[in-house]
Amino acid sequence: MVKLGIIGCGYWGPNLVRNFNSIQDTEIIICADLDESRLSHIKSLYPKIKVTKDYKEILENDEIDAVIIATPIETHYKIAKDFLNANKHVLIEKPITASSKEALDLIKTAEKNKKVLMVDHTFEFSSPIEKIKEIIDKKELGKIFTIDMIRVNLGLFQEKVNVAWDLAPHDISMLIYYLNDIPLTVRAVGQSYIRDGIEDDAHINLEFKDKVMVNMHVSWLDPCKIRRTTIVGNKKMLVYDDTLNDEKIKIFDKGVTIHKANIPKQPYYDTYEQWALTYRSGDTYTPKIGNKEPLSVMANHFIDCIKNNKKPLTDGYSGLRVVKVLEAIQKSLKNDGKKIVLENDN
Ligand SMILES: NC(=O)c1ccc[n+]([C@@H]2O[C@H](COP(=O)([O-])OP(=O)(O)OC[C@H]3O[C@@H](n4cnc5c(N)ncnc54)[C@H](O)[C@@H]3O)[C@@H](O)[C@H]2O)c1
Which residue owns the Cα nearest ligand 1 atom 18? 10
Chain center to CA of 314: 10
Quick: pLDDT tens for 232-258.
999 999 999 999 999 999 999 999 887
C-alpha 231 to ligand 1 mean position (Å): 32
pLDDT at 333 over 70: yes
Cβ–ligand 1 distance for 129 under 6 Å, the answer no
For residue 306, report the phi and psi dihedrals to the nearest 5 degrees.
Answer: -70, -50
C-alpha 218 to ligand 1 mean position (Å): 20
pLDDT at 264 over 70: no
Compute how many other C-beta atoms are within 10 angstroms of the C-beta atom of residue 44. 8
pLDDT at 263 over 90: no
Closest ligand 1 atom to Cα of 73: 41
β-bridge partners, 208: none
Cβ–ligand 1 distance for 319 under 6 Å, the answer no
C-alpha 22 to ligand 1 mean position (Å): 21
Compute how many other C-beta atoms are within 10 angstroms of the C-beta atom of residue 249. 23
**pLDDT band at residue 278 using 50, 70 and 90 as cut-offs:** confident
Rounded to an integer, the average pLDDT of 89-97 is 98
C-alpha 76 to ligand 1 mean position (Å): 9
Secondary structure of residue 105 in the 3-state scheme: helix
Angle formed at CA 44 by CA 42 and CA 48, multiple of 5 degrees: 75
Compute how many other C-beta atoms are within 10 angstroms of the C-beta atom of residue 85. 13
Amino acid at 275: W
Secondary structure of residue 111 in the 3-state scheme: helix
pLDDT at 271 over 80: no
C-alpha 147 to ligand 1 mean position (Å): 30
Tell me the percentage of the chain whose pLDDT exceeds 90: 90
Rounded to an integer, the average pLDDT of 215-224 is 98
pLDDT at 275 over 80: no
- The DSSP bridge pattern shows strands 201-207 and 213-219 to be antiparallel
pLDDT at 152: 98
Identify which of 122, 138, 128 has the alpha carbon closest to the alpha carbon of residue 172.
Answer: 122
Cβ–ligand 1 distance for 187 under 6 Å, the answer no
The DSSP secondary-structure symbol of 260 reads: G
Rounded to an integer, the average pLDDT of 179-207 is 97
**pLDDT band at residue 291 using 50, 70 and 90 as cut-offs:** confident
pLDDT at 30: 98
> What is the helix (H) or strand (E) element at residue 136, kind and residue range?
helix 127-137
C-alpha 94 to ligand 1 mean position (Å): 10
**pLDDT band at residue 276 using 50, 70 and 90 as cut-offs:** confident
Q: Which of 6, 7, 9, 11 to mutate to test the pocket of ligand 1 (most atoms within 8 A of CB)?
A: 11
d(CA 30, CA 156): 28
pLDDT at 259: 75
C-alpha 320 to ligand 1 mean position (Å): 19
d(CA 15, CA 21): 10
Rounded to an integer, the average pLDDT of 181-208 is 97
For residue 169, report the phi and psi dihedrals to the nearest 5 degrees.
Answer: -50, -35
C-alpha 295 to ligand 1 mean position (Å): 15
What is the chain's Cα-based Rg? 23
Q: How far is CA 321 from CA 63, 121, 345, in A?
A: 33, 12, 9
Which residue owns the Cα nearest ligand 1 atom 28? 71
Cβ–ligand 1 distance for 42 under 6 Å, the answer no
Cβ–ligand 1 distance for 330 under 6 Å, the answer no
Of 2-11, 64-73, 203-212, 279-288, the one with minimum mean pLDDT is 279-288
pLDDT at 140: 97
Which residue owns the Cα nearest ligand 1 atom 3? 122
In terms of C-beta density within 10 A (0-12 exposed, 13-18 middle, 19 or more buried), how is residue 99 classed?
middle
pLDDT at 266: 62
d(CA 118, CA 112): 15
pLDDT at 131: 97
Closest ligand 1 atom to Cα of 38: 39
Quick: pLDDT tens for 17-76.
999 999 999 999 999 999 999 999 999 999 999 999 999 999 999 999 999 999 999 999
Q: Tell me how long the chain is.
A: 346
Rounded to an integer, the average pLDDT of 205-231 is 98
Amino acid at 284: T
Q: Average pLDDT of the chain?
A: 95
C-alpha 114 to ligand 1 mean position (Å): 26
